[in-house]
């Protein structure tokens, strides 16, 4: 861009221009890529800064006290900006603050570098200014200071401009067209580049090369044939030891490799299980290095026997660790070549056929902006995998329209078959020795009678403590209000597009059939609306938004409300109308099928409509199944989400099998000869019985099932101090506010001595919020920043802030009890507020407890207690993450000492000693212990 442009950045006291104030202004003028002027001023906001703003900017009240007010400097700012366009990173934020301070809107044209970066840099891990600067090698002197940020944004802008200048002409033109539809301010810039390139090289030809093929992937040898024969070659322990030995292959490639006998033993046990074709259940403590311990024998087995091994994890974090960290190491230590593939559902990949149909259509502005992003991404991807696109909000919905759904695939008739990302991913999986996937896809495969994943031999399930929960979710059924509304919208859009198409014949009958379907769709919308209104009236539950991450409640079905009969009648009416809609759509599809012989394009339209019909049919089947609540052995309920922000409720109808164990055995274990399951938390009080019973392993002959423990190499009794506070009143035995105030006071005193670096684990959002509100100001006055789950941003953002700043305390509810890995000093104290028993009001838990009671079994001992112990072990496990970690765990729930079941919690921990007593005693012990060992502040 040749004309003068102003790059602006403001620091403020918060996010709302109506209530928050500007504290620093940084402006840079840029002409032909050169910085020609700068303006900077601190601003006195007239109020004190909050701790998070002080931490973020490094500014203090004293820095601003002598600064001018925004009114004083506004004339200089306006003079500097003049009538030139303003650019910035999330520029509307800065413009809204300037406009509010000025009392008049700014009429300057604006350019957002955040929007441009999202368009041009699809693979960025984050679009925050600091991250983009790192990616582009831009020097950002001090982040969150206005002038440095403005200068860095100016350099970023220049780099992004040059990306536009070097774009291939065909891509540039298509993106420009989409930006026009999107109403983007960047359209003019792109259009100028198009015009100038056409002018300078008028004869320039638009490339005919397919831009979606530009990033092609590299090759390595493949698993040629799946060997289904039962005659297998055994693994030798010697070849396993050669990898893990102190001077072995791992030590050769990993500079900081530490030999762990537990890891070597675990790998040998896995090898033995593969040789003997058995079922293996292993608990491996933190730090054993369990993933390498199963990957090494798994890959050696696959190479030797030409048999694919499937590895399923519960979380994306572990999947990413295996894929990005462990598999590359494996590639360096295993001398024979092998292949690994990450298996994801088809919906994760773009369908080129659907993409090009969508591209032809007219778009809403937000659709066009998203498709412009997809277009640029397609020029760079070598996987076609949506995870590279960092989809947000509505983009998820738009992705559904272009992803590779099985029902919409025209297979051999598809003109893009050769280049199809779905097919390439499938081929990669079919050629791989190791397939890494998640529990969810494993069960989708189980549900579809193994039509989703390529055939595999041994199965390894990591994070196995989630197996029962994953199977319950995946083998159950659900009907989501938002998904169904989305489906009705998709039908509406599909019909609107079809009526615009010119059919090769039967125009009158065709148009009448589309109009009929449109009418029935409107009836369906109305009937569903009436159904949800009645359901809402019948579910008379108090949703205060206080308990649950966003305000959730669950109600068992069939409902007990007298109004529930009306709900059933309305639901039946909906089902009838939806069946009529399916019939109408089938008539339309019939025309299209006939025309697909005449014109190829109609084959694609036909498949798309069939896909829409089939997905609708399966949703209606689920709806009917749950609403009728007839099938024995299932528990049925409504999950209600309450959005306090929008004042809206969303209803999800759910059904789950009560006895998942027999289902797991019948549909998974009984079909496999080798299954290896592992986790850091499987046993309860040293026993595997709970896991075996709950997950259907009790049906396996005893001699076929092996269990093995591999202790953590950490020296817990030296690295961790476990304290149990015994003077906090018991919740429920005193008035609620007495308990909550004592709890807040106890946490405050503990945090005072740790000076931050503390994770407090709650079991209730309501309690978390009470204590948060009680302590926020008090802690900030001690320069300790408090972050609250559900209060201060997303989980990942909270963890990032917690890691960054040692004088921070993080309050987390259930999802923070596991999956957090913060080694080192950043996390030096974990406070466990209560023993984590699940509420018996949760429908699946309630139904399973009833089922046990009906069979005259003790539900507390067989279900509630072991579940709580496993979660408790997970919570404890947040503290020590490496051999050099040290820290304190404080338990504030006296039941661990006073109740007979308390010992089961203590016996399940890797520490053998603990101290117990009043808060004063505990504080004294912590101070003594930390005097020699602990390195916390303020001690
Ligand atoms: S083969 Fe199927 S999934 Fe692939 S591009 Fe064609 S229609 Fe889409």
What spacing in Å lies between the alpha carbon of 348 and ligand 1's midpoint?
13
- Nearest partner of 931 among 890, 892, 886, judged by Cα: 886
Whether 130 has a pLDDT exceeding 50, the answer reads yes
pLDDT of residue 359: 87
pLDDT of residue 374: 95
Q: Which residue has the higher pLDDT, 433 or 603?
A: 433
What spacing in Å lies between the alpha carbon of 419 and ligand 1's midpoint?
9
Residues 687 and 726 in one domain: no
What spacing in Å lies between the alpha carbon of 179 and ligand 1's midpoint?
27
- Nearest partner of 721 among 857, 444, 922, judged by Cα: 922
Whether 205 has a pLDDT exceeding 70, the answer reads no
In a domain, 42, yes or no: yes
What spacing in Å lies between the alpha carbon of 305 and ligand 1's midpoint?
33
Judging by beta carbons within 10 Å of its beta carbon (0-12, 13-18, 19+), is residue 195 exposed, middle or buried?
exposed
In a domain, 498, yes or no: yes
Residue pair 892/833 in contact by the 8 Å Cβ criterion = yes
In a domain, 650, yes or no: no
Whether 544 has a pLDDT exceeding 50, the answer reads no
Percent of the chain at pLDDT exceeding 90: 71
Q: Name the domain count of the chain.
A: 4
Domain boundary at 645, 672, 687, which?
Answer: 645
Whether 218 has a pLDDT exceeding 50, the answer reads no
- Nearest partner of 224 among 342, 295, 308, judged by Cα: 308
Whether 705 has a pLDDT exceeding 90, the answer reads yes
pLDDT of residue 228: 61
User: Model confidence at 643, in pLDDT bands (50, 70, 90)?
Assistant: low
Residues 700 and 728 in one domain: no
pLDDT of residue 471: 95
pLDDT of residue 208: 44
pLDDT of residue 936: 41
pLDDT of residue 682: 96
Nearest residue (CA) to ligand 1, atom 2? 409
Name which of 222-236, 307-321, 641-655, 760-774 the model is least confident about.
222-236
Q: How far apart are CA 7 and CA 80, in angstroms?
A: 11
Q: How far apart are CA 724 and CA 720, in angstroms?
A: 13
Pairing of strands 22-31, 34-42: antiparallel
What spacing in Å lies between the alpha carbon of 558 and ligand 1's midpoint?
42
Residues 826 and 916 in one domain: yes
Point out the ligand 1 atom lying closest to the alpha carbon of residue 414.
6
- CATH at 610: 1.20.1440
pLDDT of residue 640: 85
Residue pair 731/905 in contact by the 8 Å Cβ criterion = no
In a domain, 467, yes or no: no
Q: What is the DSSP string of 387-434?
A: GGG---THHHHHHHTTB--GGG--GGG-TTGGG-HHHHHHHHHHT-SE
Residues 694 and 722 in one domain: no
Whether 496 has a pLDDT exceeding 80, the answer reads yes
- Is 914 tagged catalytic? no
pLDDT of residue 1: 67
User: Model confidence at 202, in pLDDT bands (50, 70, 90)?
Assistant: low
pLDDT single digits (tens) 591-612: 999 998 888 888 888 888 998 9
User: Model confidence at 502, in pLDDT bands (50, 70, 90)?
Assistant: confident
Residue of 89, 109, 144, 606 with catalytic role = 144
For ligand 1, pick from 346, 349, 409, 426 the residue to mutate: most ligand atoms within 8 Å of CB: 409
DSSP assigned state of 213: G
User: What is the rounded average pLDDT of the residues 376-400?
Assistant: 88
For ligand 1, pick from 404, 418, 611 the residue to mutate: most ligand atoms within 8 Å of CB: 404
pLDDT of residue 837: 95
Q: How far apart are CA 302 and CA 339, in angstroms?
A: 10
pLDDT of residue 793: 83
Give the containing element (helix H, strand E) for 265.
helix 261-276
User: What is the rounded average pLDDT of the residues 738-757?
Assistant: 95
Nearest residue (CA) to ligand 1, atom 8? 351
Phi, psi of 395 (to 5 degrees): -60, -30
Q: At what angle do helices 564-595 and 600-628 cross, to 10 degrees?
A: 160
Residues 720 and 868 in one domain: yes
Q: How far apart are CA 519 and CA 501, in angstroms?
A: 19
Q: How far apart are CA 809 and CA 430, in angstroms?
A: 47
User: What is the rounded average pLDDT of the residues 894-915?
Assistant: 94
pLDDT single digits (tens) 272-301: 999 999 999 999 999 999 999 999 999 999
Angle among Cα 393, 132, 397 to the nearest 5 degrees reads 15
pLDDT of residue 214: 43
User: What is the rounded average pLDDT of the residues 307-328?
Assistant: 94
Whether 258 has a pLDDT exceeding 70, the answer reads yes
For ligand 1, pick from 212, 348, 351 the residue to mutate: most ligand atoms within 8 Å of CB: 351
Residues 593 and 721 in one domain: no
Residues with CB under 6 A from ligand 1: 351-353, 404, 409-411, 414, 416-417, 420, 422-423
Residue pair 439/470 in contact by the 8 Å Cβ criterion = yes
Q: Output the CA–CA distances (angstroms, integers) from residue 365 to 32, 118, 180, 369, 822, in the order listed.
A: 30, 16, 9, 6, 42
Q: Which residues contact 385 (CB under 8 A, 6 or more apart)?
A: 344, 348, 349, 421, 425
Whether 625 has a pLDDT exceeding 70, the answer reads yes
Both tokens assigned to 53: 């703003």
Point out the ligand 1 atom lying closest to the alpha carbon of residue 410.
7
Residue pair 693/848 in contact by the 8 Å Cβ criterion = no
Residues 801 and 704 in one domain: no
pLDDT single digits (tens) 515-530: 999 999 999 999 999 9
Whether 204 has a pLDDT exceeding 80, the answer reads no
Residues 696 and 724 in one domain: no
Residues 886 and 753 in one domain: yes
Half-sphere exposure of 839 (CA within 13 A, CB side): 11
3-state secondary structure of 538: helix
User: What is the rounded average pLDDT of the residues 201-211?
Assistant: 50
Omega before residue 558 within 30° of 0, cis: yes
Residues 685 and 641 in one domain: no
Name which of 184-198, 239-253, 389-403, 891-905 the model is least confident about.
389-403
In a domain, 449, yes or no: no
User: What is the rounded average pLDDT of the residues 457-473?
Assistant: 96
In a domain, 351, yes or no: no
Percent of the chain at pLDDT exceeding 70: 94
Phi, psi of 85 (to 5 degrees): -65, 150
- CATH at 152: 3.30.420.10
In sequence order, the β-bridge partners of residue 709 are 283
pLDDT single digits (tens) 392-411: 878 888 898 899 877 778 77
Q: How far apart are CA 39 and CA 692, in angstroms?
A: 68
User: What is the rounded average pLDDT of the residues 761-773?
Assistant: 94
pLDDT single digits (tens) 785-809: 999 998 888 888 899 899 988 899 9
pLDDT of residue 215: 39
Q: What is the DSSP string of 438-496?
A: EHHHHHHHHHTTS-SSPP-S-EEESSGGGHHHHHHHHHSEEEEHHHHHHHHHHHHHHHH
Pairing of strands 915-917, 808-812: unpaired
What spacing in Å lies between the alpha carbon of 378 and ligand 1's midpoint?
15
| Residue 122 belongs to domain spanning | 5-166
Residue pair 898/727 in contact by the 8 Å Cβ criterion = no
Nearest residue (CA) to ligand 1, atom 7? 409
In a domain, 870, yes or no: yes
- CATH at 296: 3.40.50
B/e letters for 885-922, b = 16+ CB within 10 Å, e = fewer, are bbbbbbbbbbebbeeebbebbbebbbbeebbbeebeeb
Residues 724 and 701 in one domain: no
Residues 738 and 605 in one domain: no
Q: How far apart are CA 14 and CA 787, in angstroms?
A: 16
Whether 206 has a pLDDT exceeding 70, the answer reads no
In a domain, 87, yes or no: yes
User: Model confidence at 64, in pLDDT bands (50, 70, 90)?
Assistant: very high
Domain boundary at 140, 166, 192, which?
Answer: 166
Q: How far apart are CA 80 and CA 215, in angstroms?
A: 44
pLDDT single digits (tens) 854-888: 999 999 999 999 999 999 999 999 999 999 999 99
In sequence order, the β-bridge partners of residue 787 are 810
What spacing in Å lies between the alpha carbon of 456 and ligand 1's midpoint?
24
pLDDT of residue 128: 92
pLDDT of residue 934: 44
Q: How far apart are CA 316 and CA 463, in angstroms?
A: 11
User: Model confidence at 451, in pLDDT bands (50, 70, 90)?
Assistant: confident
User: What is the rounded average pLDDT of the residues 109-137?
Assistant: 93
Domain boundary at 166, 181, 202, which?
Answer: 166
What spacing in Å lies between the alpha carbon of 417 and ligand 1's midpoint?
6
For the chain, the farthest-separated pair of C-alpha atoms sits apart, in whole angstroms, at: 89
Give the containing element (helix H, strand E) for 292.
helix 290-305
Phi-psi region of 708 (alpha: psi -120 to 50; beta: other; left: phi over 0): beta
For ligand 1, pick from 358, 410, 421, 604 the residue to mutate: most ligand atoms within 8 Å of CB: 410
């Amino acid at each position: 861009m040749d004309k003068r442009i102003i790059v602006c950045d403001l620091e403020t006291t918060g996010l709302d221009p109506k209530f928050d104030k500007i504290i620093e202004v940084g402006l840079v003028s840029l002409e032909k890529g050169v910085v020609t002027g700068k303006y900077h001023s601190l601003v006195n906001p007239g109020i004190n800064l909050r701790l998070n703003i002080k931490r973020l900017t490094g500014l203090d009240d004293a820095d601003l006290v002598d600064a001018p007010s925004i009114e004083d400097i506004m004339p200089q700012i306006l003079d500097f900006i003049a009538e030139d366009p303003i650019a910035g990173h999330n520029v509307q934020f800065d413009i809204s603050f300037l406009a509010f301070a000025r009392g008049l809107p700014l009429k300057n044209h604006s350019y957002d570098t955040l929007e441009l970066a999202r368009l041009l840099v699809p693979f960025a891990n984050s679009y925050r200014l600091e991250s983009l600067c790192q990616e582009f090698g831009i020097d950002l002197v001090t982040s969150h200071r206005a002038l440095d940020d403005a200068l860095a944004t100016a350099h970023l802008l220049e780099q992004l401009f040059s990306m536009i200048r070097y774009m291939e002409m065909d891509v540039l033109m298509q993106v420009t067209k989409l930006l026009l539809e999107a109403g983007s301010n960047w359209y003019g810039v792109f259009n100028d580049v198009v015009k100038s390139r056409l002018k300078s090289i008028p004869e320039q030809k638009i490339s005919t090369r397919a831009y979606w093929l530009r990033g092609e992937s590299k090759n390595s040898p493949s698993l040629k044939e799946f060997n289904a024969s039962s005659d297998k070659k055994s693994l030798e322990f010697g070849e396993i030891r050669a990898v893990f030995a102190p001077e072995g292959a791992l030590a050769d490639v990993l500079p900081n490799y530490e030999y762990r006998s537990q890891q070597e033993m675990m790998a040998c046990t896995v090898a033995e299980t593969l040789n003997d074709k058995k079922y293996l259940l292993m608990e491996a403590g933190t730090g054993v290095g369990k993933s390498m311990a199963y990957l090494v024998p798994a890959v050696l087995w696959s190479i030797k026997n030409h048999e694919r091994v499937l590895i399923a994890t519960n979380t994306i974090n572990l999947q990413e660790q295996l894929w990005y960290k462990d598999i590359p190491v494996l590639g360096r230590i295993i001398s024979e070549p092998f292949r690994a593939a990450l298996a994801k559902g088809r919906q994760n990949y773009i369908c080129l056929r659907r993409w090009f149909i969508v591209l032809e259509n007219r778009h809403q502005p937000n659709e066009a902006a998203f498709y412009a992003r997809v277009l640029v991404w397609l020029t760079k991807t070598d996987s076609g995998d949506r995870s590279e696109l960092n989809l947000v909000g509505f983009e998820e919905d738009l992705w559904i329209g272009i992803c590779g759904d099985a029902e919409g695939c025209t297979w051999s008739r598809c003109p893009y078959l050769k280049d199809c990302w779905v097919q390439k991913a499938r081929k990669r999986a079919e050629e791989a020795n190791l397939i890494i996937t998640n529990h969810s896809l494993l069960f989708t495969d189980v549900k579809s009678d193994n039509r989703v994943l390529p055939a595999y031999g041994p199965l390894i399930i990591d994070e196995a403590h989630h197996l029962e929960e994953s199977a319950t979710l995946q083998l159950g059924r659900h009907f989501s209000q938002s998904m169904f509304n989305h489906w009705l919208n998709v039908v509406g859009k599909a019909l609107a597009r079809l009526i615009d198409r010119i059919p090769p014949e039967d125009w009158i009958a065709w148009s009448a059939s589309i109009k009929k379907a449109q009418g029935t769709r409107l009836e369906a919308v109305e009937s569903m609306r009436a159904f949800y209104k009645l359901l809402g009236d019948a579910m008379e539950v108090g949703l205060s938004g206080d308990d649950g991450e966003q305000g959730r409640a669950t109600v068992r079905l069939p409902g007990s409300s007298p109004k529930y009969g009306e709900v059933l009648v309305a639901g039946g009416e909906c089902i009838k109308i939806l069946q009529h809609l399916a019939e109408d759509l089938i008539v339309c599809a019939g025309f299209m099928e006939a025309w697909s012989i005449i014109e190829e394009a109609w084959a694609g339209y036909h498949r798309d409509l069939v896909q829409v019909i089939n997905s609708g049919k399966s949703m209606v089947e689920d709806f009917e199944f749950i609403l009728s609540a007839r099938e024995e052995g299932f528990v049925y309920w409504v999950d209600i989400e309450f959005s306090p922000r929008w004042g809206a409720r969303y209803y999800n109808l759910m059904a789950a099998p009560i006895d998942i164990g027999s289902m797991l055995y019948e549909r998974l274990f009984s079909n496999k000869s080798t299954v290896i399951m592992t986790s850091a938390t499987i046993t309860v009080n040293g026993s595997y019985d709970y896991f075996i019973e709950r997950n259907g392993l009790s049906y396996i002959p005893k001699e076929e099932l092996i269990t093995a423990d591999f202790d953590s190499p950490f020296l817990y009794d030296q690295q961790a101090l476990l304290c149990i506070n015994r003077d906090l009143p018991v919740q429920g035995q005193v008035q609620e506010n007495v308990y909550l105030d004592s709890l807040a006071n106890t946490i405050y005193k503990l945090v005072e001595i740790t000076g931050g670096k503390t994770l407090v684990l709650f079991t209730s959002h309501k309690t978390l919020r009470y204590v948060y509100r009680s302590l926020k100001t008090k802690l900030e006055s001690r320069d300790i920043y408090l972050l609250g789950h559900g209060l201060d941003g997303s989980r990942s953002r909270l963890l990032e802030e917690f890691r960054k700043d040692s004088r921070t305390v993080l309050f987390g509810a259930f999802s923070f009890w596991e999956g957090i890995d913060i080694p080192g000093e950043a996390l030096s104290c974990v406070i466990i507020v209560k023993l984590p028993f699940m509420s018996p009001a949760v429908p699946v838990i309630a139904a399973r407890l009833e089922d046990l009671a009906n069979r005259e079994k003790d539900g507390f001992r067989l279900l509630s207690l072991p579940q709580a112990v496993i979660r408790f072990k997970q919570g404890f496990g947040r503290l020590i993450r490496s051999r050099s970690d040290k820290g304190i765990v404080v338990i504030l729930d006296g039941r661990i000492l006073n109740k007979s079941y308390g010992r089961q919690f203590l016996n399940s921990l890797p520490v053998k000693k603990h101290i117990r007593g009043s808060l004063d005693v505990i504080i004294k012990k912590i101070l003594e212990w930390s005097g020699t060992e602990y390195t916390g502040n303020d001690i």
